[in-house]
Amino acid sequence: MSSWTGQGARVAAVLGGQWGDEGKGKLVDVLAKQYDIVARFNGGANAGHTLVVDGTKFAFHLLPCGMLYPDKLNVIGNGVVLHVPTLFKELGQLTDKGIPVEGKLVISSRAHLLFDFHQTVDQIQEKRLSGKEIGTTKKGIGPCYASKATRNGIRVGDLVGDWQGFVAKYKHVIFI
């Protein structure tokens, strides 16, 4: 194949030019077979994509699809807004289906945490901003990126080490 397809390249990036279902997940799955690392560099747990392997369905909203491959390192990068309950739910679904997950996932300490209050804000803004629904998934992704942009977001690294510091940051964010 020609080099513009990503086949045979040392690094391949799959980017979307639209909002919505473009088939990025399927393309990443096709390419993942030939790479050592599969990474998500932005986005959150919104629409996602479904893969069927040997008749078993796997729904990915947050995790990289490389989690289905035993020899791939998967990365959630610093541009991802991470909803921890969704992460644990997806990891649990994999382990329930016999897919090992230990040692296959690395999460950037600089990725921002998406909290349930981001989802609440998203649901409120969905109607308030325009008087009608604007079509978000109501998963809190926009409000979490707003927290990131205004520099009052909380990062994965804030969970490590200084728990009281994390609690103070969280209280500051929800009471602003």
Give pTM, 2 decimals.
Answer: 0.84
Q: Can you tell me the distance from the alpha carbon of 23 to that of 8, in angstroms, rounded to the nearest whole number?
A: 20
Q: Can you tell me the distance from the alpha carbon of 116 to that of 127, in angstroms, rounded to the nearest whole number?
A: 18
Q: Return the DSSP state at 40.
A: E
Are the beta carbons of 40 and 80 closer than 8 angstroms?
yes
**Banded model confidence at residue 19, pLDDT cuts 50, 70, 90:** low
Q: Which pLDDT score, from 0 to 100, does residue 1 have?
A: 43
9 pLDDT higher than 60:
yes
Domains of the chain, first to last: 3-108 (3.40.440.10), 115-174 (1.10.300.10)
- Positions annotated as catalytic residues are 21, 49
Averaged pLDDT, 127-132: 69
For the chain, the straight-line distance linking the first and the last C-alpha, in angstroms and rounded, comes to: 54
Q: Can you tell me the distance from the alpha carbon of 77 to that of 112, in angstroms, rounded to the nearest whole number?
A: 10
Please tell me which residue, 43 or 19, carries the higher pLDDT value.
Answer: 43
Tens-digit pLDDT profile for residues 31-82: 888 889 999 988 888 877 888 888 888 888 999 989 999 999 999 999 999 9
Q: Return the DSSP state at 46.
A: S
Q: Which helix (H) or strand (E) holds 119?
A: helix 116-128
Task: List Cβ neighbours of 118 (8 Å cut-off, separation of 6 or more).
Answer: 81, 140, 141, 143, 144, 147
131 pLDDT higher than 70:
no
